[in-house]
C-alpha cells in the first residue's frame, strides 16, 4: 500500500516537473543538450 502511494506521488511529481519544463524554454534547451550528450532520444 505504501509503495503504491509512493509511486503515485512520484508520478504526480514527474508530471508537475514536466509541466514546468514545458513552460521554460531555457530549461528545454538545456534538456535537449543533455540528451545529445547522453546520446538518448
Q: Higher pLDDT residue, 32 or 27?
A: 32
35 pLDDT more than 70: no
In the predicted structure, residue 9 carries a pLDDT above the cut 90: yes
Grid coordinates representing 31 are 534538456
- Rounded to two decimals, the pTM is 0.44
How far from chain centre, in Å, is Cα 35? 12
Indicate the average pLDDT of the chain: 75
> Which residues, including other chains, have CB under 8 Å from residue 31's CB and lie 6 or more apart?
21
Query: Kindly report the CA angle at 36 between 34 and 41, in degrees rounded to 5?
Result: 105
Predicted confidence (pLDDT) at residue 41 exceeds the cutoff of 60: no
Amino acid at each position: 500500500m505504501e509503495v503504491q502511494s509512493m509511486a503515485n506521488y512520484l508520478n504526480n511529481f514527474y508530471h508537475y516537473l514536466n509541466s514546468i519544463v514545458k513552460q521554460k524554454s531555457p530549461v528545454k534547451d538545456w534538456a535537449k543538450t543533455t540528451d545529445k550528450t547522453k546520446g538518448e532520444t
